[in-house]
Amino acid sequence: MRNLKSLIEQMTLEEKAGLCSGDSFWRTKAVERLDIPAINLSDGPHGLRAQGEDQDHLGVNESKPATCFPTAAGLASSWSVALLEQLGAALGDEAQAEGLHVVLGPGANIKRSPLCGRNFEYFSEDPLLSSHLAAAHIRGTQSRGVGSSLKHFAANNQEHRRMSVDARVDERTLREIYLASFEYAVKETQPWTVMCAYNRLNGEYCSEHPRLLTEILRDEWGFEGYVVSDWAAVNERVPGLAAGMELEMPASGGERDAQIVAAVQNGQLEEAVLDLAVERLLRVTFKAADARLENASFDAEDHHQLARRIARESMVLLQNDGTLPLANERRVAVIGEFAERPRYQGGGSSHVNATRVEPLLEALETRGASFDYTKGFEIDRDAPDQQLEQKAVQRARDADVAVLCLGLPDRHESEGYDRTHLNLPANQLALIEAVTAAQPNTVVVLANGAPIVMPWAGQVSAILEGYLGGQAVGAAVADLLYGEVSPSGKLAETFPQRLEDNPVHLNFPGEGDVVRYGEGIFVGYRYHDTQGVAPLFPFGHGLSYSRFDYANLTLSADTFSGDEQLTVSLDVTNSGEREASEIVQLYLSDQTQTVPVAAQALRGFDRVTLAPGETARVEMTLARRDFCWYDAERADWRLPTGSFEVRVGASSRDIRLSRSIEVHGDETPLPAIDRNTLLGDLQTHESAARVLREHLADLAEELPMLNSLMDKGGDNDLMDAMGRYLPLRALISFSSFTEARLDALLKDLKALA
């Protein structure tokens, strides 16, 4: 073990400040005289972008060949912790082979709006799913002695004005949704680094946000690694360092290192703060350098096959009238340029130079399928082309089935900007009309990183959502179309019928540099289910070529008080004819109405693979936090008292079994006591109610609004409401109560605190 403290003592002020920023785009600084090595950081998150000498920020210059796995939108639809771990480990192996020490990812930002240009790189609209998958990704990578950088912390939910926008999020929403998406991953896996976001959060840049980077991330969650800035996210360097952002990336040409030196010299920054930052930097640096495997390599073909397996377990069969799977002997018209030039990844910093790409046409040839191909439309143009369309119609008419390969071209969605609508380009919409008029058996295969609207869904037989399927996309699609394996992915986000149905619609992308998260906790299905707005395809939805029955739901207890875990068990049976996987989802519905809550929230999931006729007992556990809401006033999680419904199902809208459970929650906390405290707020607190009764007993006759307090059978709604919402001082106006008695009452109430 190195003694970091004594090493830091040997460093000059300039050397210490120097360690707090990069040497180049992707490399930290070394201090050779003290044997402190430099380490390499590189994107992430679904494949590596290791650049050689020609370095740039957003992937203009080519990077070294690496396996391009499906992007997070697809990965998340697998709901598979095991698969995400395998992917993370494969990234770790490739990183070792390329001499990288830290992979920049995964991204755990919540998909607040389907318009966000970077949704393809994020997992879900649900924090539990997002956080568990991020954790698995990190566990995998770090198991190979390579660090992860969990990003972008926090509330980076749009690309529009991403480097300046101020996300205004109330505390409860922040805790329950946006921070929760990071929290589990940080606590469970200790990522070596966390990357702070570009944007501001409630007025302060995330790169210099002491509450975010120190109080929450470190003091509350126990994060032990270091925080790296997103590339060029630094606003003011010295406040950033003081707030807990240790490494600025990329290099700042020495400018900001000099600012740190000056700040220490003139007393603006305590040297101890810099020393602590350096200690954190060195700890990760040495860990990374020590874990480096010289001469590591990876098997590109193995990783290609892993990419294929991950892709086919991630794709989601949204709709199917039985046309899929395709029988081998059917003549298929494959239409759409994506079959030849697949869109298998997104644009921007995550862009991978794939070791190989397997388009659908190649995969169909390899399997000897009976098909004809025609382009149908051009990816690079949006305008319809009648000639291409006519040819497609002819091919479709001559075949038994048409497979339309559609999706969003690169320019429609990317890092850096958001979409403005959810439609497919006009040429593809025209093609759907023309082909479905000629061929009743039409299957649509989609390539897109985020939801689209589908006014045409009723015209087609089947829809396979392929997301951005990685370099083996064609093979995975062919496997699913022909039923080599059954589709098993389920949506990790809601597909709305119309853009306007999205809860964020009125608050996206904000006014100037301010975006208000006005929908609060009601993001995605939390809104659709609570407000009763039917989605096009709900959160958790995905079809199979098999069928699953759910039975025998049991809970390990009938009541819950938060001290123990609650085990939820059920039988899932594959009652179809083929092996397939099912994703079982567990939702909790808080019916206590203590505060406004979503109709239901995902609190557990499991993925099981079953042979025909096989039954598995699925077990999921619930803990205190799953039942809690965040009480911003008291800065703590509160367990409410009353009934909850435990629901299990095949999607958020396909609940198969449910059971009620009584929760004995936390004692209602004493409200802040002053003249304006409401009677009703005191009445729900046992000791406060007793004090009230003692002080107000003689007023009971005068004031019928005290009936319910005095247990006199409050059956007059008006009077009860008057009492509940009465500030203590108003007792004086309505009765013989006096200021002197009010003072005495306040004194006794305060004594309870």
What positions carry a catalytic annotation? 230
User: Is residue 506 classed exposed, middle or buried when 0-12, 13-18 and 19+ CB atoms within 10 A define those classes?
Assistant: exposed
- Identified binder of ligand BGC from the candidate list 67, 349, 427, 497, rule CB under 6 A: 349
Choose between 49 and 685: whose C-beta lies nearer to ligand BGC: 49
Q: What 3-state DSSP class applies to 205? A: strand
Check: CB of residue 132 under 8 Å from CB of residue 80: no
In the bound complex, what is the minimum distance in angstroms from residue 230's beta carbon to ligand BGC?
Answer: 5
Is 104 a binding residue for ligand BGC by CB under 6 A? The answer is: yes
Picking from 525, 505, 523, 501, the residue whose alpha carbon sits closest to that of residue 515 is: 505
Put the strands of the sheet holding 566-574 in their side by side order. 548-555, 566-574, 615-622
Picking from 294, 293, 289, the residue whose alpha carbon sits closest to that of residue 34 is: 289
Q: 291-294: long-range contacts (C-beta < 8 A, 24 or more apart)?
A: 291/101, 291/145, 291/146, 292/96, 292/99, 292/101, 292/145, 293/96, 293/145
Place of tokens 């954190």: 280
Is 248 a binding residue for ligand BGC by CB under 6 A? The answer is: no
Choose between 63 and 441: whose C-beta lies nearer to ligand BGC: 63
- Identified binder of ligand BGC from the candidate list 85, 125, 208, 230, rule CB under 6 A: 230
In the bound complex, what is the minimum distance in angstroms from residue 426's beta carbon to ligand BGC?
Answer: 31
In the bound complex, what is the minimum distance in angstroms from residue 247's beta carbon to ligand BGC?
Answer: 13
Q: How far is CA 142 from the centre of its chain?
A: 20
Position of minimal CB gap to ligand BGC: 349
Check: CB of residue 141 under 8 Å from CB of residue 86: no
361 CB-near residues (< 8 Å, 6+ apart)? 334, 339, 340, 373, 474
Read off the tokens for 155. Answer: 């509330």
In the bound complex, what is the minimum distance in angstroms from residue 441's beta carbon to ligand BGC?
Answer: 42
In the bound complex, what is the minimum distance in angstroms from residue 226's beta carbon to ligand BGC?
Answer: 15
User: Is residue 172 classed exposed, middle or buried when 0-12, 13-18 and 19+ CB atoms within 10 A define those classes?
Assistant: middle
Provide the strand spans (E) within 41-82.
41-43
Check: CB of residue 537 under 8 Å from CB of residue 528: no
In the bound complex, what is the minimum distance in angstroms from residue 104's beta carbon to ligand BGC?
Answer: 4
In the bound complex, what is the minimum distance in angstroms from residue 572's beta carbon to ligand BGC?
Answer: 38
Check: CB of residue 39 under 8 Å from CB of residue 22: no
Name the DSSP letter for residue 677: -
Positions 72 through 91 that interact with ligand BGC (CB under 6 A):
none
Contact track, ligand BGC, 171-210, x by CB under 6 A:
----------------------------------------
- Identified binder of ligand BGC from the candidate list 178, 231, 286, 482, rule CB under 6 A: 231
Choose between 63 and 113: whose C-beta lies nearer to ligand BGC: 63
Choose between 58 and 262: whose C-beta lies nearer to ligand BGC: 58
Helices (H), 334-447: 360-366, 386-398, 426-438
Farthest-apart Cα atoms in the chain, separation: 94
CB-side exposure of 211: number of CA atoms within 13 Å?
Answer: 12
Residues in the interface with ligand BGC (CB under 6 A) total: 9
Residue type present at position 462 = A
Choose between 151 and 638: whose C-beta lies nearer to ligand BGC: 151
Question: Burial letters for 434-451: b for 16+ Cβ neighbours within 10 Å, e otherwise?
Answer: bbbebbebbbbbbbbbbb
d(CA 152, CA 194): 8
Name the DSSP letter for residue 669: P
Choose between 26 and 482: whose C-beta lies nearer to ligand BGC: 26
Positions 27 through 56 that interact with ligand BGC (CB under 6 A):
43-44
In the bound complex, what is the minimum distance in angstroms from residue 151's beta carbon to ligand BGC?
Answer: 5
% helix, strand, coil for the chain, step of 5: 35, 20, 45
In the bound complex, what is the minimum distance in angstroms from residue 148's beta carbon to ligand BGC?
Answer: 11
In the bound complex, what is the minimum distance in angstroms from residue 657's beta carbon to ligand BGC?
Answer: 41
Is 403 a binding residue for ligand BGC by CB under 6 A? The answer is: no
Check: CB of residue 50 under 8 Å from CB of residue 98: yes
Choose between 46 and 304: whose C-beta lies nearer to ligand BGC: 46
- Identified binder of ligand BGC from the candidate list 27, 64, 151, 695, rule CB under 6 A: 151
Choose between 105 and 524: whose C-beta lies nearer to ligand BGC: 105
Positions 566 through 625 that interact with ligand BGC (CB under 6 A):
none
Choose between 134 and 650: whose C-beta lies nearer to ligand BGC: 134
Angle of CA points 57, 62, 63, to nearest 5° = 85
Is 303 a binding residue for ligand BGC by CB under 6 A? The answer is: no
In the bound complex, what is the minimum distance in angstroms from residue 280's beta carbon to ligand BGC?
Answer: 20
Number of H helices and number of E strands within the chain?
Answer: 23, 25
Choose between 44 and 469: whose C-beta lies nearer to ligand BGC: 44
Check: CB of residue 644 under 8 Å from CB of residue 592: yes
Cis amide linkage into residue 65, ω under 30° from 0: no
Is 123 a binding residue for ligand BGC by CB under 6 A? The answer is: no
Choose between 122 and 377: whose C-beta lies nearer to ligand BGC: 122
The residues of the shown chain that bind ligand BGC, judged by CB under 6 A, are: 43-44, 57, 104, 151-152, 230-231, 349
